[in-house]
Amino acid sequence: MARRTGPKHRICRRVGEPICGSPKCPALKRPYPPGQHGRGPRRKLSEYGRQLLEKQKLKAIYGISETQLRNLFRNAARHRGRTGELLLQMLETRLDNIVYRMGLAPTLPSARQLVTHGHVTVDGRKVDIPSYRVQPGQRVGMAEKSRNLGLVVSSLESTPSRVPYVEVDPESRSGTLLRLPSREEIPIKVNETLVVEFYAR
């Protein structure tokens, strides 16, 4: 699994919004680019620059590597349909993201940690691969020994809203992916068309 070891909020500051999902993201207090010239007028990006920035945003939102995103794009491009929407569906149905969408973790990195540490099950079987693709109808939950972890309990209590394509049962610490999401239901601000154009060059 790829680990991000660089600055966590550089892209957030660059685009001026907390795309990392953290409630403590510095972009909330400083919505301008980092560096001594950050408060100046934003530079006008070229078409390539816009495509690159959207691709970097998508990587930052889901916390994946360049190789992982490129492979997902190639997989999406082989299927019939809108490549950008298929790409987002593949990212949304990753196991770590489903755990996050269920409200079992406050952030995507913490959801990924729950998965890698063996706290998460799919249809009753432990799965510790964050990139595992959850299929519609599969049930995702916490292992019995992990259901009362402080992180999970506090996250379930504070999660403001959930997505319509995931049904959650807070009492059993589990949920089901009802169906693949439509683009309108995926709560991220990314122009996936520019990402497709970047990789299709």
List the pLDDT tens digit at each of the 201 positions of the chain: 455 555 666 677 666 666 766 667 766 666 666 665 556 555 688 999 999 989 999 998 898 999 999 999 999 999 999 999 999 999 999 999 999 999 999 989 999 999 999 999 999 999 999 999 999 999 999 999 999 999 999 999 886 678 999 999 999 999 999 999 999 999 998 999 999 999 998
Are 98 and 145 members of one domain?
yes
Write the CATH number for 73.
1.10.1050.10
Q: Provide the number of structural domains found in the chain.
A: 2
N- to C-terminal Cα separation, the chain: 27
Beta 120-122 vs 139-142: how paired, if at all? antiparallel
Are 49 and 113 members of one domain?
no
With respect to residue 2, please indicate whether it lies within any of the assigned structural domains: no
Are 71 and 51 members of one domain?
yes
Write the CATH number for 125.
3.10.290.10
Are 74 and 130 members of one domain?
no
Q: What is the pTM of this model?
A: 0.85
With respect to residue 3, please indicate whether it lies within any of the assigned structural domains: no
